[in-house]
Amino acid sequence: MSLRVLSEEPPGSVGSTLLEIERVTKRYGARIAVDDVSLNVSAGECLGLLGPNGAGKSTLLAAASGIVRPDAGSIRIGTWDIWKRPREAKRLIGFVPQDVALYPTLTARENLAFWGALAGIGDARALCKRMDEVLELVGLEERDRDRVRNFSGGMKRRLNIAASLLHEPSLLFLDEPTVGIDPQSRRHILDTVRNLVRDKGLTVVYTSHYMEEVEDLCTRVAIIDQGKVLVVGTLDEVKNIAGEHETVELEVQGDAEAARTLLATHPAVLAVAESGGKADAAETLLVLRVERADHAIPQILAALISQLGGRVTLRTLRVRRPDLETAFLALTGRTLRV
């Protein structure tokens, strides 16, 4: 599938291109992790990079941060090519990896001092002031003397974000910062990122497989799957990509395979998506694309009752309005959920 660029220029008061990714490819052996990706990010915007596990998001961020060298293509941060002028380019970026990079036996402040020294902040007073600022930004100012080994997973992620901000970057890469953490820390991270963009003018590339987070934070979104960016545009442009079609979700118990087969050939159903439900789950999620939900639902229910009554139990039925999940479905025939 070829890339669809729905809008060249991001909306709002954003500036010149701060990140330019041009035709980047990265292979691991025979596997293509990033496949000929081009993407621009303007100063002041928050771009969401949305895709399922294994889509290539981390590899693309690692390439853009100068951590993983691509096999082809170029990456420019501001005016600097990240591979030709890494020192200058890296000064402009902060990178928050998925894995926490902290010393558990050191306190929060000692960890920041270590990262500050690595970032070249030599002046002790300047570093101290900057540590206070970033600790406050992530809401850890009261815990700065605590050892990191006593922190929750969410607090460690927040400290990692603080460390990435010490040298006052213009562009922040966040690689799935909310995976596997408590809801309070998740809320805190989302609020911190929003404030950094709105109040400090930071430019952010935020990767996630949670469409709600991207809808909440970002002005533009790029959908990535199997190493390719399938579409780039404003949230509204991408949400509407499914066009006039609607999505009906059925949660069924029993012989879900028979229900899937029946619905896949039903005239009211355009397509049944593969959904990544858990193999041991009691219910199976069937995601249907239909022309009009109000017409299709009575026919679908009648077919299930007359042909599979007793073998399948319907637990829930939901109609989805166009959102990033339905866009992903329209583009790939699969659901985002994992």
List of residues contacting ligand ATP (CB under 6 A):
28, 31, 33, 51, 53-59, 176
Least distance in Å: CB of 3 to ligand ATP?
A: 17
Between residues 246 and 325, which has the closer beta carbon with respect to ligand ATP?
Answer: 325
Q: How far apart are CA 99 and CA 91, in angstroms?
A: 21
Between residues 51 and 94, which has the closer beta carbon with respect to ligand ATP?
Answer: 51
Least distance in Å: CB of 53 to ligand ATP?
A: 4
Least distance in Å: CB of 37 to ligand ATP?
A: 11
Between residues 52 and 322, which has the closer beta carbon with respect to ligand ATP?
Answer: 52
For the record, the structure tokens of 55 come out as 């889509």
Measured distance between the N- and C-terminal CA atoms of the chain, rounded to whole angstroms: 22
40 - beta bridge partners?
Answer: 20
Between residues 67 and 258, which has the closer beta carbon with respect to ligand ATP?
Answer: 67
In this structure, the number of other CB atoms found within 10 A of the CB of residue 158 comes to 27
Long-range (24+ apart) CB contacts under 8 A made by 218-221 are 218/46, 218/47, 218/48, 219/10, 219/11, 219/12, 219/14, 219/45, 219/46, 219/47, 220/7, 220/10, 220/11, 220/45, 220/46, 220/47, 220/48, 221/47, 221/48, 221/49, 221/50, 221/324
Least distance in Å: CB of 226 to ligand ATP?
A: 8
Q: How far apart are CA 91 and CA 78, in angstroms?
A: 10
Nearest 10 degrees: CA dihedral of 234, 238, 241, 242?
-140
Between residues 26 and 220, which has the closer beta carbon with respect to ligand ATP?
Answer: 26
Between residues 28 and 103, which has the closer beta carbon with respect to ligand ATP?
Answer: 28
